[in-house]
Every structure is written in structure tokens, then in C-alpha cells.
Amino acid sequence: MRLVTQRPAATLLAVLIMGGTAVHAQQHTFNEKGISRPLLENYLDHAVTMTEFLAVDPYALDAPYPNKEDDIRLIHHLGAKFIGRAIYRWGSEAVLANKDYLNNAKRLVQEVQKTDPEVIFQAALFEQITPQVNTIPIPDWAFKALRLPAEDRHFRYDDMLNLKGKLVDHWSKGNSVPDITRTETQLWFMFLAGTYMEVGCEALHLGQIALIGMEDPALTTWAAFLEKLRAYAKDHTRHHWVLLDAHTPSGGMVVNGKSLLDFNSFPLRIKSVPEHPQQGILQMGFTDALFGRSKGGIAPSGWKAASMPYLVELDNFGVSNHPGVPDTTTIYPWGYDEISWFYQQPEQYRNDWLRYAHAWVAAHDSNGHLQMPVTRIVTLGRKQPRLKFRANTRSANCPDGMNTEETIKEIWQTADAKK
């Protein structure tokens, strides 16, 4: 089934057909009032992770992930509708001052949407900053969006840090978690959000909101900031709305019965199977897995949910100190992060495992949706170079493809046929 999203400032005129039953277009809206749950879940059902797809080196035009043309082909071949983590920064923030970097990203968005205007791109605002933010001038619009008087200055790294020293240098020296209660952090996040909206992103992943909200347990600051972010999105996105999600170990961001997020997201949390070398399974209640725990509430779009819909993904977070060991009590399957474990499996097992995971999630929690891995960073050792998982069918146009593409398409087509 192919749902047609709303064009800007317009209403859907088509009647959508689902299994031979007419469904009125109003049930599938996406505009300044929000997004309907059926349409949102259609996007989540066709979501992929394509790390830094929109990040094009302004000088080399092909780094950090080459083979952009084959990636575009893959998006259309799969029928992918939600392109997750397509652009973000984890350090090296100075590149955001490079107009070529941003213009190349915008060009890729337009090239994809020229063939399929339904596709939505997601950027990420992560729980990490370095002193390179000091090289970025703050535009007047960022102050205005936060209802602050404009100043002629650059961002200040030190002013984003927690005043008590919490999570300062958390990742490494000069590599910290910003504190959302600091006004400077809010300015930085608003700048990132607005910059990515200008590129063409209509979804934002907010990363580990519990870390960023280290001083905001009641979510008071988060709620006020996200209200301003959504207000900015009304005038600066194609659908006059931005889809927000974050990693929610607590089950969600709910304040007075209202979800601050359009949907939740979390790693899969794959459990090692010691008696079957390198194999992994999913299990309700394993560590902090989100299955069965997504909190309910009133969505930002106004509909009620007993449990908010959510994405689960093969996450990357580095290698453990026991690679290759099947510790069944940690979040590292066989000692690796999820995508790095997946990368090392034989091709047939990888494809069979995706079929298993998709079916398992659907059977155990209908609110969950598996985000398919297409492009992701792989870490096999602390001193080894980082590699890349590429789901593309291997070819001259993508020589490092790992032949997962057709399996993803098969899984989606089978699921869509049952709707």
C-alpha cells in the first residue's frame, strides 16, 4: 500500500484504498495540525537508518559515505518513506558554517523528493558538543525563535555545560553533554533544528534526552523548548510540522498526560545466545528494552494512544571490553554494539535475522516498528578503524554493499500485503 502524504498547506483529495476498503483522506493528514496515527505508522513501517546520507564533503563531494546515487536508487527501490539520521553532527561542528555542505544536503533532499515527494528526512540533535561550536555565529533567527534579543556573537561552549559539572567531558576531554536548562544549549539546538529544516528535514531525533535533561527531571524545560521549536517548524517546513522522537529509556516524554514526542525510539536490545555462537534474540524485559513499555498519552497531533508508537533500531554505541563474549546481562550482543554484531554475521543469517526481528516485534507489541538498517557505523575494536554497514545490493555502484536490500523489500511487501 502506498499512502500519499499531504502537500504543503493543502488537503488530501484522494481516497486511499486499503484492502479494497475506501478510507477517507482525512484519516491520513499531515499538516500544521499534525499527523494522523495511520499515516505516521505508515512512515514508521517504511523507516530506514541511513546515517549521514545527506552529509556530503564540500570538497570531495563523496565522503563520509560515498555511492550517493546508488543510495538514491535504493530508497526508491525499497519504497522507503522515512530516512532516519540522514544528517547530524557528533563533533566537527565547524562544517555547519560551510554553505557548500548544507547546499549539497539540500540538493540530495530535492533529488529524492523529485521522484517521491512522500519521503521524509530526519536529522538528529545529539547529546554531544565540542569547543568547535565556538566557531559558529548565532543567526538572528535563532534568538527570535527563542524570544530572546539578538546578539552579534558566536556560540559559547562553556555556557552549554552543566553548572555542577555533570557530564562535562563525558565522552572525552572537551567532548561533553549539553544541559538543556542552559539557554545557550537551547540556542544551539534551535540553530541545529532550523538549519536542518532549511536543508529539507521534517523530522528531528533528539538523542538521549535523559542525559541532555540531567537537570530537568520534570521535563519542564524540555516542554517549553519543544513548544518553541514546533512553532518555528510551522513556518519553516514543507508540512508546517516537525516529527520529534528521542531515545526514551523511561518509556516516553509525557507531561500531564501529553506526549512531547510524536513517537518514541530505542535500540532493539539484542540478547546473546551462549549455546549458539554469535546468535542473538529479542526478549521482553531484557535490560531496558522498550517493548511493552512505551507510555501512552495525547500525541502532539491530538490523538490519544494507550501506548505511543515507536521505532526500534540496530543501534551503534561502540565495542565493549569483552568482544566475542556472550554476556547475557549486558546490552552488547556478543560484546559488540548491535549493528557491529549484525555486520559480522554471515549474509544468510543477517537476512533471516531481519525477518525474525520484524515478525517478533509485530507479534509482541503492535506499537513497535522495526527501523531497517541501511547505512550505519560499525566498530569492531577500540583501536580499529570504523567500518560501515551498507544494505545496498553489492555492485560496481556500491562495491561494499552487503546484500540486505532485497530482504528489506521482501519484508515490507509481505507486511503491506497483509494490511
Cell numbers that stand for 191 in this block: 540553530
The one-character DSSP state at 14 is S
CB atoms within 10 A of CB 178: 26
For 234, what's the count of Cα atoms within 13 Å in the CB-facing half-sphere? 9
Average pLDDT, the chain: 92
pLDDT in tens, 262-316: 999 999 999 999 999 999 999 999 999 999 999 999 999 999 999 999 999 999 9
What percent of the chain clears pLDDT 70, i.e. is strictly above it?
92
CA atoms within 13 A on the CB side of 75: 29
* pTM assigned to the model: 0.93
Q: Rounded mean pLDDT of 98-117?
A: 96
Pick from 331, 329, 334: nearest CA to 275: 334
Give the model confidence (pLDDT) of 190-222 as tens digits: 999 999 999 999 999 999 999 999 999 999 999
Per-residue confidence band for 24, with pLDDT thresholds at 50, 70 and 90: very low
Angstrom distance (rounded) from CA 237 to CA 35: 14
Contact 283, 289 (CB under 8 A): yes
Read off the pLDDT of each residue in 353-368 and give the average, rounded to a whole number: 98
- 398-415 confidence digits (pLDDT tens): 999 999 999 999 999 999
DSSP string, 140-182: HHHHHHTT----S-B--GGGGS-TT-TTTTSSBTTBBPPPTTS
- How, if at all, do strands 82-87 and 47-50 pair? parallel
Contact indicator for 362, 45 with CB cutoff of 8 Å? no
> pLDDT tens digit string along 152-168?
999 999 999 999 999 99
| Secondary structure element (H or E) that encloses residue 359, with its range | helix 347-364
- Has residue 32 got a pLDDT over 70? yes
Better-predicted residue by pLDDT, 11 or 216: 216
Q: Over range 242-264, report the average pLDDT.
A: 98
Question: Is 80 within 8 Å of 375 (Cβ atoms)?
Answer: no
Pairing, β 120-124 against β 82-87: parallel
